[in-house]
């Protein structure tokens, strides 16, 4: 199934620049009202950084033998919560949206994997664990619990960041 072109937000360089500039401007204008957002973003960043070593191991275990590379067929992009998190946490956003139009492959998918730093990837790229990775992760229940709980907490923080941002700028 093909989604309409409009489903991909900020899919041109101009729209992407405009979205990031507008967000940066809103954060400057409402800086003092957004102290809670900055705390949430720092917490989300710490949680992400705490699970990245495990994610790296899962990729080393599962990806070299993969014959159906997820990033070559992923229909994903950075959404508003991703942009907000990048700006609040001081992470440089990717130079462009991942896709421009239906049928595209992610522009950051390279022969050796993703060319973005892990922190710069949309959350969906961290959240998604393929069946092969899940099989490896299940072999270490304590790690599985830590990764699952961290991902759930990050999801909650992202929702809260968005809600309090909207409240602050409204
Ligand atoms: S994450 Fe899973 S589906 Fe994606 S490339 Fe690695 S093994 Fe393949
Ligand atoms: S941003 Fe990276 S991890 Fe996400 S789909 Fe693109 S290549 Fe894959």
**Exposure class string for 133-158: b at 16+ Cβ within 10 A, else e:** beebbeeeeebbeebeebbeebeebb
Q: How many CB atoms lie within 10 A of CB 117?
A: 11
Query: What does each C-alpha distance from 19 to 40, 54, 132, 162 come to in angstroms?
Result: 21, 32, 36, 15
- Which ligand is nearest to the Cα of residue 70, counting in written order? 1
Is the C-beta atom of 130 inside 6 A of ligand 1?
A: yes
- CA of 125 from ligand 2 middle (Å) equals 6
Domain boundaries, the chain: 5-169
Q: How many CB atoms lie within 10 A of CB 114?
A: 15
Is the C-beta atom of 69 inside 6 A of ligand 1?
A: yes
pLDDT tens, residue order, the chain (170 aa): 344 445 899 999 999 999 999 999 999 999 999 999 999 999 999 999 999 999 999 999 999 999 999 999 999 999 999 999 999 999 999 999 999 999 999 999 998 899 999 999 999 999 999 999 999 999 999 999 999 999 999 999 999 999 999 999 88
Residue nearest atom 6 of ligand 1, based on CA coordinates: 63
Structure tokens that stand for 123 in this block: 């959350």
At residue 1, the pLDDT reads 38
Structure tokens that stand for 26 in this block: 């809103």
Structure tokens that stand for 139 in this block: 């072999």
- CA of 63 from ligand 2 middle (Å) equals 13
- Which ligand is nearest to the Cα of residue 129, counting in written order? 1
> Which residues, in sequence order, are CB contacts of 147 under 8 Å at separation 6+?
51, 54, 55, 129, 137
- Alpha helices (H) in the chain, listed in sequence order: 13-29, 35-62, 80-89, 123-127, 131-138, 141-169
Which of the 8 DSSP states describes residue 110?
A: E
- CA of 57 from ligand 1 middle (Å) equals 12
Q: What global pTM score does this model have?
A: 0.94
Residue nearest atom 8 of ligand 2, based on CA coordinates: 71
Start-to-end Cα distance in the chain? 37
Ligand 1 pocket: which of 58, 70, 112, 134 to mutate (most atoms within 8 A of CB): 70
At residue 7, the pLDDT reads 87
Report how far residue 149's alpha carbon sits from residue 154's, in angstroms, rounded to the nearest whole number: 9
């Amino acid at each position: 199934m093909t989604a309409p072109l409009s489903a991909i937000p900020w899919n041109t360089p101009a729209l992407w620049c405009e979205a990031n500039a507008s967000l940066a401007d809103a954060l400057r204008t409402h800086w003092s009202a957004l102290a809670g957002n900055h705390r949430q973003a720092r917490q989300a960043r710490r949680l992400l950084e705490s699970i990245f070593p495990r994610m790296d191991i899962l990729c080393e275990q599962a990806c070299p033998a993969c014959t159906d590379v997820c990033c070559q067929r992923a229909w994903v992009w950075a959404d508003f919560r991703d942009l907000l998190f990048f700006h609040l946490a001081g992470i440089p956003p990717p130079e462009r949206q991942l896709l421009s139009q239906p049928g595209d492959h992610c522009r950051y998918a390279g022969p050796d994997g993703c060319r973005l730093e892990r922190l710069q990837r949309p959350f969906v790229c961290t959240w998604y664990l393929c069946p092969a990775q899940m099989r490896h992760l299940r072999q270490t229940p304590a790690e599985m619990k830590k990764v699952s709980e961290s991902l759930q907490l990050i999801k909650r923080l992202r929702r809260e960041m968005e809600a309090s941002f909207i409240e602050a700028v409204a």
